[in-house]
Each structure stands twice: as structure tokens, then as C-alpha cells.
Amino acid sequence: MMNNGQLHGANEVSSHTQVLWGTNINTNDVQMKLKNFINNFEEIKDDSDEEDDQKFQKAPYYIQRLKEVREMDANVLDIDCDHVFQFDQMLYRQIEDYPADIIPIFDLVVTQVYKELDMYNIGAQDQNDPDYNMNNDEFGNDQIIQVRPHNLRKVYRIRELGPAHIEKLVSLRGIVIRNGDIIPEMKEAHFTCTKCFREEERAV
């Protein structure tokens, strides 16, 4: 049984440590691991045909992908989960077991890295460049890069799914025989007064 001093100490620790509800996973540790993965992961492949100069000049794999996202003006980054497994098996299991909590954190981390990369590019750009102001304005927007995990290490058939897979990230193999209409979900409402034309925006 805990005494009052132990209970007070436990409350102090919990107040300074952010964890996912129902787990002992520290969100700050998760963010650091995800950022480290994005900034440092390098794909393992046969480089026998690649020149040594190209090996040293090549940026980390997902930094290259983020540059491509910027060039294509996209907002989605595909994440190969096998890459996560190679980099950090514990992080892979956390993504697989708690996708509803980890993936939104992943989105924020990737967006942060994207904006840091964007800021570096803008800082290195000549201010006399006609595209300088345009790029600087784009950096100030609220664009969010969403991650799209794929290539899990285990693939299930629909009949193999059970209660243990609820709220887990799973990969399915099968044939789509029917699909329904997409029903949009309203996230933000915009109101305009017909008399004074005052505008208001509210999150739903």
C-alpha cells in the first residue's frame, strides 16, 4: 500500500510525464523516435552499382520523400512499416498496437520536419529570387502532412480477424466486391450574415 509521500511523488511524476491513456508509452519519447526515424533512416539495398560520391551525397530516405512531396505539392507521405521495423522494432509494435494514438503524433512530427526542411530551403534561397516571397508565404500556411502506413509485416485474411484485432493496425489481403458512397464529414463550418456580411468560422 502506498503512503501519502509515495502517492504525492507518483502524482508529481505523472504531472510531468505525458503518456498514452491506458499505457505506459511516453508521447515525448515516441515523438523523438519518430523524428529520428524520419531524419536518419536509410534504405538498405545493394549499392554495388552506385558510385561512392553518390552514396555520401544522398539524403536520408524520407527526407528525399518529403522533398518530392513539396515538389508535387502533395500532403501525404507514404511510410513503409518494414522500414520502421528495421529502424526500431518497439516503435513498429507501438504503431501496430495503438494506431489511433501514434499516427496523429506521426502526422505532427512529419509536418514539423517538413516545415523545418522548408525553412532551411527558404533560408538558403536568394532573396532576389522572384519565387522567394511566394515560398516564404507558403511556409506560413497551416498545411499538415499526413502519413500513410503500409507494408505491415503480417498480412491477414478477413476470416482470421477477431476481437484481438480491434483498434489495431492490420493489413488485409482479399478482393473488393462492393463499395459504398463516400459520406463527407463536416469538420469546419463557415457562416456569413446576410445583412452585415460578417463572417464566422467554427470547428464542428
Say if residue 79's pLDDT is above 50. yes
For 142-155, what is each residue's pLDDT tens digit?
A: 778 999 999 999 99
* Mean pLDDT, the chain, integer: 79
Q: Is residue 1 part of a domain?
A: no
Say if residue 33's pLDDT is above 90. yes
**pLDDT above 90 coverage of the chain, percent:** 44
CA distances from 111 to 2, 63, 134, 142, 143 (A): 42, 12, 19, 10, 8
- Per the structure, the complete domain to which residue 99 belongs is given by 19-203
When pLDDT is cut at 50, 70 and 90, the band that residue 182 belongs to is confident
pLDDT of residue 122: 44
Number of domains, the chain? 1
Q: Pick the most confident of 13-17, 117-121, 185-189.
A: 185-189
Q: Which stretch of 26-35, 58-67, 105-114, 122-131 has the lowest confidence by average pLDDT?
A: 122-131
For 109-137, what is each residue's pLDDT tens digit?
A: 999 999 888 776 544 444 455 544 444 44
Question: Which is it for strands 188-192 and 76-80: parallel, antiparallel or unpaired?
Answer: unpaired
Q: Is residue 87 part of a domain?
A: yes
Query: How deeply is 114 buried, as exposed, middle or buried, from its count of CB atoms within 10 A (0-12, 13-18, 19+)?
Result: buried
Say if residue 1's pLDDT is above 50. no
Answer yes or no: pTM beyond 0.85. no
Share in percent of the chain as helix, strand, coil (round to 5): 50, 15, 40
For helices 61-71 and 99-124, the axis angle rounded to 10 degrees is 70
Q: CB 97: neighbour CB atoms within 10 A?
A: 14
Q: CB 117: neighbour CB atoms within 10 A?
A: 18
CATH number at residue 131: 3.30.1640.10
Query: How deeply is 167 buried, as exposed, middle or buried, from its count of CB atoms within 10 A (0-12, 13-18, 19+)?
Result: exposed
Task: Provide the grid cell at 101.
Answer: 494514438
